[in-house]
Structure 1
Amino acid sequence: MSLTYEERRHTILIQLATQGKVQVQVLADLFQVSTETIRRDLDRLEKEGELRKVYGGAVRVRSGMTEAPFQKRAQLQLNEKQAIGVAAASLIEDGETVMLDNGTTTLEIMRQLRHRSQVTVITNSVPILTCALEEFAGKIIFAGGEVTPVIQASTGPIAHELLSQFKVNKAFISAGGVSLTDGITDYVLEEALISRKMMERAEEAILVADHTKFGRSTFAQIAPINQISMVITDSGCPTEWVEALHQMEIEMVHSV
């Protein structure tokens, strides 16, 4: 029995949400319909604003490959990021050392740690460092290096060398996008490499990402998804992603 357009549409959108792209021939084989039927489906979905057609298939509509300034991003999904920050901070035990990469969600973790005098935080983020200097009761270590106003974080060989000197309990990693095919990605290569280094130097790597990051791919890969042990997100995370991470045996924590 052939599927209706609405049924095909549902499956196509799920694939876009998890993989970021679909292919005409693969969909035609899956639904057992002609490639012309799939192309018409993609035409309709493009008019609905759900995707953008490319050669051989379609990709998810992106918000662009250029990241907004840090201060502007800090206001986006703020409630979700604050809740994720609370959930992440609750996993940090007294006596632990953690790494926080440069992100607006990891900044919310730092804010939740302000009274934790028995915690050590290592970061390359200037906003996180500034926050810690204002109110953090624990120890802060800044992984110094080249700092640019646009990135607001240290990057480059000096930062990598300093991070290599440490072995920590947990690394909390933010992301520009999370895709089953492209993994955990960021907009800036230099920042992606720092996040990757933090994951290498931690006993446990934890991804902190609000629901808007799932199904999105940005410029530079941080790591494949299977290299993290836990994802902390908000209740808006798509159901298909909850199922996908469960199948990959990656623990998932939903913030409240």
Structure 2
Amino acid sequence: MSLTFEERRLTILNHLELEGKVQVPHMAELLSVSTETVRRDLDRLEKEGKLRKVYGGAVKMRMDRVEPPFQKRVEMMRPEKRAIGKLAASLVEDGETIMLDNGTTTIEIIPFLSDKPNVTLIINSVPMLMLAMETFQGRILFTGGEVNRECRAAMGPLADQMLDQFKVNKAFISGGGVSVTDGITDFHMEEAMVARKMMQRAEETILVVDHSKFGMSTFARVARLKDISMLVTDPGCSKEWIETFEGLGIEVRISE
């Protein structure tokens, strides 16, 4: 019995949510329909504003090709990021050393560390350094290195060499996108390299992202999904994504 459009629509959108993209031949095989049927379905879904057609398939409608400026990103999904930051900070235990990569979600962890003076914080972000100097009572280590004006963070060989000197308890990593096929990605190769180094130097890696990042792929790969220990996200995260992470043996924490 052939599937109705609504049944095909659900399958296509679920696949798009997890992968960030769909390919016509693969969906035709998965749905047991012709490639022409899939193309017509994609046409209808594009008119509904659910996806954007590209050669050979479609991608998520909100998939960004250029990262917005830092200050604009700070305001995007701000309540969700703040709630994620609060929950993430609660995972930091007295006496631990932690690393935070340069992100507008990870920066929201810092205000909730104000009651943890025995924690050591290692960062490469200039905005994080300024915030930590105002609100954080513990020890602060800044990686140094060449400061990228666009990203507002220290990067390059000197930052990499300094990070190599440490072994820490937890690394909190953000990202520009999270997909099943491409893993955790970032818009900038240099930022992806710093995040990857932080993961290598940590006993445990915690991914902190809001639900808008799921199903997206950006320029530079940070890591595979299975390389993280825990996901901290907001209630907007879909059931399919929660099941995907839990299926990989990754603990999922949802903020209030």
Scaled by the length of structure 1, the TM-score of the pair is 0.98
Q: Is the 8 A contact 2:110 2:135 kept in 1?
A: no
Distance 1:55 1:136 in 2: 49
Q: Indicate the residue corresponding to 1:209 in structure 2.
A: 209
Percent of pairs identical after alignment? 61
1:244 alignment counterpart: 244
Cα deviation, 1:61-99, whole Å, max 9, x if unaligned, reads 234221111111111111111111111111100000000
CA shift for structure 1 position 52: 1.8
- Determine whether 1:158 maps to 2:158: yes
SS in 1 for 2:121: strand
Residue by residue, what CA displacement relative to the aligned partner does 1:21-75 show, whole Å, maximum 9, x if unpaired? 1121221122211111111001111111211222222222234221111111111
Q: Report the residue type matching 1:241 in the other structure.
A: W
Q: Contact (CA 8 Å) 2:63, 2:216: kept in 1 or not?
A: no
Matched, 1:73 2:73: yes
- Whether contact under 8 Å (2:60, 2:216) holds in the other structure is yes
Q: Which residue of 1 aligns with 2:194?
A: 194
Aligned residue number for residue 87 of structure 1: 87
1:233 aligned partner: 233
SS in 1 for 2:252: strand
Could you say which residue in structure 1 is the equivalent of 2:254? 254
Amino acid at match of 2:162: L
Please tell me whether residue 220 in structure 1 is matched to residue 220 in structure 2.
Answer: yes
User: Between Structure 1 and Structure 2, how many residues are aligned?
Assistant: 256
Unpaired stretches in structure 1, ≥5 consecutive residues: none
1:98-109 equivalences in 2 (<5 Å): 98-109=98-109
Query: Conserved in 1, the CA contact under 8 Å of 2:24 and 2:56?
Result: yes
Letter of the structure 1 residue corresponding to residue 116 of structure 2? R
Instruction: State the match for 2:31 in structure 1.
Output: 31
- Once the two structures are overlaid, the 10-residue window that deviates more, 96-105 or 110-119, is 110-119
Q: What does the per-residue CA deviation read over 1:185-224, in whole Å, with 9 as the maximum and x for residues that have no partner? A: 0111100100000000000011000000000111101011
Query: Unmatched 5+ residue regions in structure 2?
Result: none
Listed as ranges, the matches of 1:133-148 within 5 Å are 133-148=133-148
Q: Distance in 2 between matches of 1:63 and 1:3?
A: 28
CA contact (8 A) 2:21 2:58 kept: yes
One-letter amino acid of the structure 1 residue matched with residue 251 of structure 2: E
TM-score between both structures, scaled by the size of structure 2? 0.98
Amino acid at match of 2:71: Q
State the alpha-carbon separation in 1 of the partners of residues 86 and 61 from structure 2.
Answer: 31
Say which SS state the counterpart of residue 74 (structure 1) adopts: helix
| Residue aligned with 2:172, SS | strand
- Structure 1 runs of 4+ off > 6 angstroms? none
Distance in 2 between the 1:115 and 1:150 partners? 32
SS of residue matched to 1:68: coil
SS at structure 1 position matched to 2:87: helix
Pairwise CA RMSD: 0.9
**Does the alignment pair 1:180 with 2:203?**
no
| 153-162 vs 241-250, greater mean Cα deviation | 241-250
Q: In the alignment, which residue of structure 1 is the partner of 2:54?
A: 54
